[in-house]
Amino acid sequence: MATSEDGFAAERLFNQGFSYTYDDVIFLPHYIDFPTESVQLATRLSRNVPLSIPCVSSPMDTVTESHMAAAMAALGGIGIIHSNLNPSDQAALVRSAKARRVPILSNPVFTSPSARIESMEDFGSNPYVLVTESGAAKSKLVGYVSRADWLKLPNKEVKIYDYMVNSSDFVPWDYDLERIGSYMDEKGKDVIGMVKDDEVVDLISTEEVERIKTYPKLGAGTVGPDGTWMVGAAAGTREQDKERLEYLVKAGINAVVLDSSQGNSIYQIEMIKYIKLTYPELDVVGGNVVTINQAQNLIQAGVDGLRVGMGSGSICTTQEVCAVGRGQATAVYKVASIASQSGVPVIADGGISFSGHVVKALALGASTVMMGSFLAGSTEAPGAYEYQNGHRVKKYRGMGSLEAMTKGSDARYLGDKAKLKIAQGVVGAVADKGSVLKFIPYTMQAVKQGFQDLGASSLQSAHDLLRSRVLRLEVRTGAAQVEGGVHGLISYEKKAF
């Protein structure tokens, strides 16, 4: 070894018989010859799904439904809608995410002018009910009723046309926030409809426009060839998943993620081949894998992307229960080193707690990171906030937890009641983090700073530096990990932005 050699090349570090996590390793800084702003994080989810940021929301029922998928696409990433519900409901979530081009938080409810609103429940979670001629979405918008107006009504027996706000004015569904805002200003409207072809898709209020405007400015977002947000969806590898796929393809999904803890199976390989034959235009992400051999089998079967991680997720107990898995840093490096040879992008799935983990995943060869716990406490995640010991939290659970497995429609386990169920995940809660529209842009800024320290101006440049052995790493001892965190203080406040 040359005396000037410093640190280890990844190739050497990850071939010594240890399973390393992100926290075990640290990159040595390289040379900076560009400003942070010129770091490009544009990437791909899979062969044919380009993204402008490397962020993917996990297909879990406490993480990705339509609001999360729309927000992730608005940010330039992508959301994968979970499959723990029946196929038509999953397809409806895909359609809903694609219905508008602004990441608003609504689940529109429709009624007709001659109907009555009987209780607050008729509003669902919305501040407004939309009134159309027929009471359905595919009809003409005639007005709306606000929750506040309904509450003020002395006689709740009156029909909607007696007190609704008449308004047939609308903007096209694909207007962005700026155009919607200026149209509303121009017309002096506080609430306006959104229409696609002959269908009323939603209402948007000035409050929602103003709320989204307080966050960092959105770019173009992840828009597909048909002008809608790109959205992915999860599916399994059982015979009945072929019917689910049909629903999802009709709803316009841009990628399907075959959701399994151990993707190197005859079931998944057959499903990949079936999808490539039946829907040649659809990108298929296979997984999960953590080894070169697993990855090779799925690449050979024809995957367009690989999802990497086994047991590294915050709610996962797979390594404890089944004794299989791999440290996530090693898994990402190994799989990416083989997948890159076939041009297959790698999704580093699980174990992301902060921006440094994202930098490590990407610099080790991943094209994107998939996150569960990092996103589950956001406004856009499904479910309502609760209070636990004075903390505002949202529920977050593993898809292999008993609770998720026994939820209504799960054919994997309920279909066969004779089978003994073993959990591979837990049910928990995560802290309120506010909107992903705010904390993801800040996280990406931190990732750009990390890339600058590495001397990498893009993901491709980081991958090239890694493979040409220019990027160097070391394993951190326990004491080095303590030193790398905040230490020696009696108290402190940790605020990232």
Ligand X SMILES: NC(=O)C1=CN([C@@H]2O[C@H](COP(=O)(O)OP(=O)(O)OC[C@H]3O[C@@H](n4cnc5c(N)ncnc54)[C@H](O)[C@@H]3O)[C@@H](O)[C@H]2O)C=CC1
| Residues forming the active site | 316, 412
User: Angle at Cα 25 formed by Cα 24 and Cα 28, nearest 5°?
Assistant: 155
Q: Which amino acid is at 319?
A: Q
- b/e 81-105 (16+ beta carbons within 10 angstroms → b): bbbbbebeebbbbbebbbbbbbbbb
Stretch that binds ligand X, among 105-113, 261-269, 463-471, 477-485 (CB under 6 A): 261-269
Residue nearest to ligand XMP (CB): 425
Please state, in angstroms and rounded to a whole number, the distance separating the CA atoms of residues 224 and 46.
14
The answer to whether residue 345 forms part of the interface with ligand XMP (CB under 6 A) is no
Spatial contact of 358 and 41, defined as CB atoms under 8 Å apart: no
Does the footprint of ligand XMP cover residue 371 (CB under 6 A)? yes
Name residue, tokens 């790698």: 346
Task: State both tokens at 16.
Answer: 């010594």
Residue 140 near residue 133, CB atoms below 8 Å: yes
Does residue 106 belong to the site contacting ligand X (CB under 6 A)? no
401 binds, among K ion, ligand X, ligand XMP, none (CB under 5 to 8 A by kind): ligand XMP
* CB-nearer residue toward ligand XMP: 10 or 399: 399
Going by C-beta distance under 8 Å and a sequence separation of 6 or more, which residues neighbour residue 302? Answer: 272, 273, 276, 284
Q: Is 400 annotated as a binding residue?
A: yes
Q: Which stretch binds ligand X (CB under 6 A): 134-142, 191-199, 308-316, 331-339?
A: 308-316
Largest alpha-carbon pair distance within the chain? 88
CA dist., res. 300 & res. 342, Å (int): 10
Q: Which CB, 181 or 287, lies closer to ligand XMP?
A: 287
Instruction: Choose among ligand XMP, K ion, ligand X, none what residue 267 binds, the Cβ cut-off being 5 to 8 Å by kind.
Output: ligand X
- Going by DSSP bridges, is the β-strand pair 232-235/255-258 parallel, antiparallel, or unpaired? parallel
SS3 at position 77: coil
Q: Which helix (H) or strand (E) segment is 165 a member of?
A: strand 165-166
Read off the tokens for 437: 């529209």
- For residue 169 the two structure tokens come to 């004015």
Give, in degrees to the nearest 5, the angle at Cα 44 between 40 and 49: 130
Q: Which partner, ligand X, K ion, ligand XMP, none, binds residue 274 by CB below 5 to 8 Å per kind? A: none
Burial of 428 (C-beta count, 10 Å sphere; 0-12/13-18/19+): middle
Distance between CA 58 and CA 68 in Å, rounded?
A: 10
318: contact with ligand XMP by CB under 6 A: yes
Using CB under 6 A as the binding rule, whether residue 370 contacts ligand XMP is answered as yes
Regarding 46 and contact with ligand X (CB under 6 A), the answer is no
Size of the site for ligand XMP (CB under 6 A): 26
**Does 254 engage in binding with ligand X (CB under 6 A)?**
no
Confirm or reject binding of residue 316 to K ion (CB under 5 A). yes
Q: Is 260 in the site for ligand XMP (CB under 6 A)?
A: no
The answer to the question of residue 441 lying near ligand XMP (CB under 6 A) is no
By CB under 6 A, is residue 257 in contact with ligand XMP? no
Which region among 183-191, 192-200, 224-232, 234-242 touches ligand X (by CB under 6 A)? 234-242
- List residues bridging with 56 in a β-sheet: 78, 370
If residue 208 lies in a helix (H) or strand (E), which one and from where to where?
A: helix 206-213
Among 261, 297, 368, 378, binds ligand X (CB under 6 A): 261
- Report helix angle 266-278 to 292-301, nearest 10: 30
Does the annotation list 353 as a binding residue? no
Q: Is 24 annotated as a binding-site member?
A: no
Site map (CB under 6 A) of ligand XMP, residues 401-440, x = contact: x----------------------xx---------------
Is 261 assigned to a binding site?
yes
Confirm or reject binding of residue 64 to ligand XMP (CB under 6 A): no
**327 appears as a binding residue in the annotation:** no
Q: Is 424 in the site for ligand X (CB under 6 A)?
A: yes
CA dihedral 250, 251, 256, 262 (to 10 degrees): -100
Please choose which of ligand X, K ion, ligand XMP, none residue 372 contacts, taking the beta carbon within 5 to 8 angstroms, the exact cut-off set by kind. ligand XMP
> Would you say 71 or 203 has its CB closer to ligand XMP?
71
Stretch that binds ligand X, among 189-197, 236-244, 378-386, 427-435 (CB under 6 A): 236-244
CA–CA dist 71, 42 (Å, integer): 17
Torsion of CA 309, 310, 313, 315, to 10 degrees: 160
Q: Which is nearer to ligand XMP, 271 or 370 (CB)?
A: 370
Binding of residue 286 to ligand X (CB under 6 A):
no
List of residues contacting K ion (CB under 5 A): 316
List of residues contacting ligand XMP (CB under 6 A): 58, 60, 288, 309, 311, 313-318, 349-352, 370-374, 398-401, 424-425
List of residues contacting ligand X (CB under 6 A): 236-238, 259-262, 265, 267, 288, 309-311, 313, 316, 318, 350, 399-400, 412, 424
Question: Which residues are annotated as part of the binding site?
Answer: 259-261, 309-311, 313-314, 316, 349-351, 372-373, 396-400, 424
